[in-house]
Structure 1
């Protein structure tokens, strides 16, 4: 059974609360996402620059702990506007990969080109990014 937890201090971080709630609901309503979460290991730092908030998601193979701020050395860091970070859960996919024809995905690619969204740690952490995307996906 997957466990999604807020570390001490993260209960005051609105982004951490939102992502923890989203992951818990998605895993509860999509049993296949349990298996994805079981395979994920690593740290993902997320920085919403315009909202001046950051968090770290620590994936521990079936367990996720969300920390306020950046904790440890992240394998993957996502920096950008809060709205773009929120849109990660709405990305369209074809299997485990992003669908390049999707409207949200085109917006994300544009933000990457314009450097309004930055993803550090690729390509090494691509499996972590894809797995996290599947667990966060609203669809």
Structure 2
């Protein structure tokens, strides 16, 4: 498992670097540094490493631990739209402050940076498949247009 932990640690560092570069362009210097710090917490780190880097199928107990880790991550990071959802059944969400909307988009962009591709507008325009406040949806759409 030590190898899985090391690989996951390196992944986190690479992800944080890519998000930091995207946040820097947007003037979100502090957020770029503290982005996803919760991934280093034991409640997230170990289940994520086991799921994605152990190379073995998870037991039902480990799968449950990973689901708790994912929930923890969403609930402790304001750049995740899930953090702001009040009621998923009625699709009610609070408006996200603009800096977190921008950080969320920077997070999405970071994945294309890792794979060497430019983010397409269709990739960023997830507003039909995620639950966000109408104001947040407008912000996301404006950011998508800004990309062009």
Q: TM-score, normalised by structure 2?
A: 0.27
**Which structure features the higher share of strand residues?**
1
**Which structure features the higher share of helix residues?**
2
Q: TM-score, normalised by structure 1?
A: 0.28
